[in-house]
Structure 1
Amino acid sequence: MFETIELTKQGRTGYLKLNRPQAMNAMNGTMMKELAECFESLHHDTELQVLVIHGEGKAFSAGGDIKEMMDPENPMDIDSVMVDVSRLAKALYTLPQVTIAAIHGASAGLAFSIALACDHIIAEENSKLAMNFIGIGLVPDGGGHFFMKERVGSPKAQQMIWAGQILKAHDALAKGIIDEVTAEGRSMEYANAYVEQTLASPVKAKLATKHILHQLKVGELEKVLELEAAAQSAMRKSTDHLEGIQAFVEKRKPEFQGK
């Protein structure tokens, strides 16, 4: 049993719910570890062919738990956390299921990396999609560099990561970052329609294609995860990150110094 996520199975379909609604499904150390364990366990599930990832409450997920990062008594151990982040990203990318992200509300930071790792991304029109690590002086993790590059190419991925913009779903669709936009409140309806369509198709052949294309890139993803972990560890110690976090908490504009 998991504490921060919930996995249910209906025939050949699995539903993975991010389940910390009181915290906008922000990802604390426990959730990152549980996601890694969950994705790794699904590699051994020969019955499931589709997995839908969605969030409970008002959002898909607000990203990494900044309160836990800031906790003076029990601060997040970044090096330990990055091990689980790398585990979950690799396990998700190589899953032997068709993966669907059904996004409503916010999908930010690590949560957006997770969405980008999915095979099909559906977002409600007013959802807020953000690769916004730069706002607190950090770099994307969870394979964010790799997954954004896979979607839009290196030059645009770099621009998107540097900008750290909050995108509405139609903007993200136009940029090729997501695959489908729905009206408010209908992401799960569209996700289930895509599930039905997938299960009515020769899904075994689709999964074989996914395996071939993704296996070509696993080595590159592993290298990106290694580089992200090292960079994130360094950035967490930077003056700019401390300022970014402080400004976020104090609800003011940060004053970065490039240090």
Structure 2
Amino acid sequence: MEVQLGHLGNSFVGLVDDSNNGNKCLPDLISYSTIISGLCKAGRLDEAKKKFMEMMGKNLHPDSVIYDTFIHSFCKQGRIASAFRVLKDMEKKGCNKSIQTYNSLILGLGSKKQIFEIYGLMNEMKERGVPPDVCTYNNMMNCLCDVERVKDATSLLDEMLQKGISPNISTFSILIKAFCKSCDFGVAQEVFDIALSVCGHKESLYSLMFNELLAGGEVSKATELFEEASEVFLSGELPL
């Protein structure tokens, strides 16, 4: 049976024909947001900016999600000045800073070791009633450990626990690595024990502690930990 494609072909052409304005499928804000997000994740910020300008030219106004995407990408690349320029435009357009905005800015400032500015953002969050989450604390702790202010980072862990914010494996990894780097293996062991009680007996925690002890020349302690881990996981009483 011969199939006639003439009418179907004409209909398809109508969907993409610029002269047929009634049938065109025009991109909306969600479409642009998706494309911009993909370009930013791929590190193609210049192309993302072109799509942003194209969107603005079509009288589509960006929302906080699009602004946050740019801010996060610029901060991740260490382009803090660009991130704050986006932030300025974001606030000018009436979009409020979210927890994602603050987390990105803290991450970016941390990469530049701008501790004073980070504490300023933390205070601003409190004033605006934006509660920090585990990502906020992790970014802050990572920055403090990078500048060898490990005690201050530990105080943040206490603050998290007091506020009922559950630390995750990344939280404890930051502290364990920092204490092992400064050869405070006893304190690192204490943090490791707390991590096991909070996160459970995870293989990743044992692996982290073992590798840090080994790298620090604590071969006997690393061996003891390996034997302990073997007993825990081979017993089958706890999940890997």
> Normalized per residue, which structure has more strand?
1
TM-score, normalisation: structure 1: 0.25
Higher RCO, 1 or 2 (CA under 8 Å, sep at least 6)?
Answer: 1
TM-score, normalisation: structure 2: 0.27
> Normalized per residue, which structure has more helix?
2
Structure number with greater Rg is: 2
